[in-house]
Amino acid sequence: MKVLVLNGPNLGRLGSREPSVYGSTTYADLVAMCEAAGTDLGVEVEVRQTDHEGEMVGWLHEAADESWPVVLNAGAWTHYSVAVRDAAAQLRAELIELHISNVHKRESFRHTSCLSDISTAVICGLGVAGYPLAIRWVAENAGD
């Protein structure tokens, strides 16, 4: 099984971007953590990050065509991108919406998600520890 872990805008700046909100783990550390979780669970994990909405839409189309489950931290696109939502709605496997911070304890515009109603589950507020948890859930439950 292959699991795509897709990260949206500004997530490539983890470790330097608002450490009080997102922690000190770097993006490279996050990638290594996700890949290690996949190895431990016997699943292939591919981690990608983009600051370009069209690229994210293309990756979601690829995941839909291949029936790959997706762990998606869409960043700011979560709250306003109908294009990312429409692409994610085409997925034929599990979709886990993930947020490092607890978006419900932040600015009011972050309280609305365009993705939650089409997601299998939502993880928020657990820091980067949410990623291996999401990968584990997908590995243990995909296709149920």
The Cα–Cα gap between 90 and 67 comes to 10
Residues 6+ apart with CB under 8 A from 105: 125
Q: Catalytic residue among 52, 80, 99, 131, which?
A: 99
Domains, the chain, ordered by start: 2-141 (3.40.50.9100)
User: What are 135's two structure tokens?
Assistant: 């990968």
> Does residue 22 carry a catalytic annotation?
yes
> Does residue 111 carry a catalytic annotation?
no
Strands in 2-7's sheet, in edge-to-edge order, are 44-49, 2-7, 70-73, 95-99, 121-124
Taking only the tens place, the pLDDT of each residue in 9-62 is 999 998 887 777 666 789 999 999 999 999 999 999 999 999 999 999 999 999
Between 19 and 96, the more confident residue is 96
Residues 6+ apart with CB under 8 A from 63: 4, 6, 69, 70, 91, 93
Q: Is 76 exposed, middle or buried (0-12, 13-18, 19+ CB in 10 A)?
A: middle
Binding residues for substrate: 73, 79, 86, 100-101, 110
Residue 79: what pLDDT? 87
Asked if 72 contacts 88 with a C-beta cutoff of 8 angstroms, the reply is yes
**For residue 82, what pLDDT band results from cuts at 50, 70 and 90?**
very high
User: What are 49's two structure tokens?
Assistant: 């990050």
